[in-house]
Amino acid sequence: MTNPGEFADFRPTHVVPQEGLPAWEEPDTSRPTTPLDAFLPVQLRSRRGEWAEILCANGWSAWVDGRLLVAVPQPPPTGGRPLARTEDPRPLLSRTAEALDRYRRAAEALGSGQLDAEGFRSATRGVRAGMVLDGEAVWLYDEASGGWLFGDGIRLTTYAVAQAPAGEGQP
C-alpha cells in the first residue's frame, strides 16, 4: 500500500483507455485485482517490460499492460520562447460544454429508460469533444480544425493536428 503523503502531489501522466483496463497486484496474470474504469487518470511509476506500475489519485496502485495506457499531453515545448497566442478559448470551451451536456442528457435518458440503445446512438451521433484540464492548463479538441489546442485560460495555441499541413498551393 502506498503512503497517503506520497500522492498528495498526484499528477496524471496517462489515462485508462475507453474500454477500461484489467489490473493485477503484481506483474503476474495469476494475481488479478479490481479492473480500472475507463478514462481514469493514473500516474506511471515504473515499467517492467510491457507491464506498467500505475498510481491512482486515491493512492491505490496496480500493474497493467502499459502498452494500453493513453499518455496525457504535456505543455508544448517552447524552446525557451513564449508561445504565440492565437485564439480566445471561450468559444471552444462553450462548444465543448455543449457537447458534454448533449451527451449527459442522452446518457440520463438512456439510464432512466426514456431512450433505448438505438435512440442513445442516434442522440449522440456526431458528438465529439475532448478536454484535459490540469490546473491552469487545458487541452481542448477542436473538431473544426481536427486538432488539439493548448490553453492557459487566456489564449489557445495549436498543440497537435490530426493531419499534416497542406503544402503551398494546396487547400
Q: For each of the chain's 171 residues, which pLDDT tens digit applies?
A: 444 445 557 788 888 888 889 999 999 888 899 999 888 889 999 999 889 999 988 889 999 999 899 888 765 555 555 555 567 888 888 999 999 999 999 999 999 999 999 999 999 998 888 888 877 778 788 877 777 777 877 778 776 555 544 433 334
**Which pLDDT belongs to residue 166?**
42
Residue type, 64: V
Q: Where would I find the H helices in the chain?
A: 90-111, 117-124
CA distance 25 to 2: 13
Q: Is the pTM of this model over 0.85?
A: no
Q: What is the DSSP letter of 92?
A: H
**Which pLDDT belongs to residue 72?**
82
**Which pLDDT belongs to residue 79?**
54
**What are the grid coordinates assigned to 24, written together?**
493485477
What fold, for 4-71? SH3 type barrels. (2.30.30)
Pick from 156, 157, 154, 149: nearest CA to 132 = 149
CA distance 61 to 56: 6
**What are the grid coordinates assigned to 59, written together?**
493512492
CA distance 72 to 84: 22
* Longest CA span, the chain: 59
**Which pLDDT belongs to residue 43?**
92
Domain boundaries, the chain: 4-71, 90-161
The strand pairing partners of 64, in sequence order, are: 52
